[in-house]
Amino acid sequence: MKENNIISDPAHILIVDDMPVNNAILASMLASMDVSCDVAQNGHECLSMCRNSTYDMILLDHRMPGIDGVETLARLKDIFRHTGAETPVICHTANEGRDYINLYKAAGFADVLIKPVDPEKLKNILSTYLPEGKFVLPSDNGKRKHMEKELASLPSWLKNIPQLDLKSGIEHCETTEAFLDTLQVFTRSIKEKAADIEQFEKEENWPVYLLRIHSLKSVARLIGASSIADKAAELEYAGSHQEYALVHALTPALVDEYRSMIPCFEKLTTEEPVKYKYRDHTVLFIINEPGIVGRGIIKSLENEGFDVLTIPDVPKVILNHRADSNILLYYPTGDNDKIKAVSTMLAEICRDDGKIFCLAGDSLDIATAQDIYGREYIRSVYPRPINLEIMAADISKYHNMSLGNDRIRTILVIDDDPDFLHIMENWLSSSYNVDCSHSGASALAYLDKKRPDLILLDYEMPGMNGEKVMQKIRSNHVNERIPIIFLTGMNDKDRVVKILEQRPDGYLLKSIPHEELLDALQKFFA
């Protein structure tokens, strides 16, 4: 491995991958290492860019539509022979296993980088294959000082729990606060989940048993409970290979160790966060003549601390009050043409100004209002009979999220594990409006009323799995354009290939650290 102290000419790398989220993650990692990059979405684009520019390295995805990585590499070699370039090409792939790595090298790749990319392995690749003076290993002083600061801020009693690798937990969760929140989620459900594991093992209900074990493995990794995570991984492997005698033999030890953590966390606070009290903000309520229902809506919003500005559904009046609120609530009535015209105007305003557009009223009128070009800008619908408490809470959440932001992004997380949903909500809610569904059926019902900007979808769920849920979402013309990223705890070759065959907008491992998840989502939306 080369060691340099001075960068004479910073490296410039080409990333080639058809999955935008993979490009975003890699580009972000490289930027943090002071390496610039360009991005190509497929093999043809890569070849075109390499004919016109010279790169110090190419990170080339193997599985791509059109021409795959191996064929792209062969054509790149022809280009290099004409230009005289000696550019190392690294296979960037999800296909794990030494046999596959050897095959890629035999095909002409300089080396292999496995997805999801380990930053340390990426540093090693850069340090090994980039020319002298192009790259210096980043100093770990900043990271080390951050880790020391976060570890020092942990409660002293927590440092005496041998089952926890606190450094690993902080690395995954980024901050002490996020780590403690995740730890609370983990500990609150130990009794219930341990009992479930025992029950499903006794009943030999292997599909559900494996889901529970898989869930435990993922969350245990996040908090640094490596012994429990390793035992769960061993049981998951045994169960998936139908070695049920081994499952019966090993399950008691896992459950005992899992339960042994209960008394360790007695001092963790269980207080709920203080509810934010909203002040000095307005909802623009577009309604012709507020009747009983309209007055009920106004009262419920006022109880949440909003000032409600009521105006008729007259285009000129709406335009005059365009700047008065970030929340537009429309109660459609009248003939269909008028409803569509007003809804279209409101959708365009929300598109241009980054506002929130919600509908409330009769189901048929709401359906008419949704039947427009720009329907993706309708955030939520509340058909009669309206649950005023839920509607007011939603609008409060939307307004709170919009403070200081030009555009709120809503993410729907679909997962059958309530602990994982809670963790995702804690991790993402500071930057996004987060809604959660515990099953495919509940998610489809949610999508009848709300339209998120992104769906994070668990691939392994009982009943309707992620693949089926995505098929149903994309078969609906209203929802077909919502991007979907699969969440999976598995990174074996067959699983990844099967996921990618479904053509999602990306996939992420459930064990992805907090900071990397936020960075990946930020890059995805950008």
Coil/strand/helix, residue 54: coil
Query: What sections of 53-205 are H helices per DSSP?
Result: 69-83, 98-106, 119-129, 141-152, 166-173, 176-188, 190-203
Q: What is the pTM of this model?
A: 0.52
Tell me what pLDDT residue 270 has: 47
The three-state DSSP-derived secondary structure of 471-515 is HHHHCCCCCCCCCEEEEECCCCHHHHHHHHHCCCCEEEECCCCHH
Using CA atoms, how far residue 476 sits from 381, 469, 484, in Å, is 17, 11, 14
**How many whole angstroms separate alpha carbon 196 and alpha carbon 206?**
12
Domain 12-129: homologous superfamily in CATH = Response regulator (3.40.50.2300)
Strands (E) located in 258-301: 281-286
**Total length of the chain:** 526
User: Are the C-beta atoms of 121 and 114 separated by less than 8 Å?
Assistant: yes
How is residue 18 written in tokens?
């058809």
User: Are the C-beta atoms of 378 and 370 separated by less than 8 Å?
Assistant: yes
To which residue do tokens 């009769």 refer?
A: 362
Q: Can you list the pairs that 315-324 forms with residues at least 24 positions away whose Cβ atoms lie under 8 Å?
A: 315/341, 315/342, 315/345, 318/286, 318/342, 318/345, 318/346, 318/349, 319/345, 321/284, 322/349, 322/353, 324/282, 324/284
**How many whole angstroms separate alpha carbon 386 and alpha carbon 338?**
23
Tell me what pLDDT residue 271 has: 43
Domains 153-265 and 410-525 equal at CATH topology level: no
Q: Which residues contact 195 (CB under 8 A, 6 or more apart)?
A: none
**How many whole angstroms separate alpha carbon 445 and alpha carbon 430?**
26
The secondary structure element, H or E, covering residue 271 is none
Q: What is the DSSP string of 113-143?
A: EESSPPHHHHHHHHHHHSPTTS--PPPSHHH
**How many whole angstroms separate alpha carbon 437 and alpha carbon 410?**
13
What are the beta bridge partners of residue 91? Answer: 60, 112
The full set of domain ranges for the chain reads 12-129, 153-265, 281-402, 410-525
Low-confidence stretches of the chain (pLDDT < 70) are: 1-8, 20-22, 25, 94-102, 116, 137-143, 173-174, 267-280, 352-353, 401-407, 491-496, 526
Torsion of CA 340, 345, 347, 349, to 10 degrees: -170
CATH architecture of 410-525: 3-Layer(aba) Sandwich (3.40)
> Considering only the top CATH level, what class is 153-265?
mainly alpha
Coil/strand/helix, residue 272: coil
Name the nearest CA neighbour of 258 among 207, 186, 199, 158: 186
Name the nearest CA neighbour of 218 among 242, 193, 200, 201: 193
Q: Could you report the per-residue pLDDT of 357-398, keeping only the tens digit for each?
A: 999 999 999 999 988 877 878 889 999 999 999 999 888 888
Name the nearest CA neighbour of 382 among 441, 438, 300, 280: 300
> Which of the four CATH numbers 3.20.20.220, 3.40.50.360, 3.90.1150.10, 1.10.3470.10 does domain 281-402 have?
3.40.50.360
Q: How far is CA 404 from the centre of its chain?
A: 22
User: What is the distance in angstroms between the CA of the first residue and the CA of the last residue of the chain?
Assistant: 35
Q: Within a 10 A sphere around the Cβ of 174, how many other Cβ atoms?
A: 18
How is residue 226 written in tokens?
């490596």
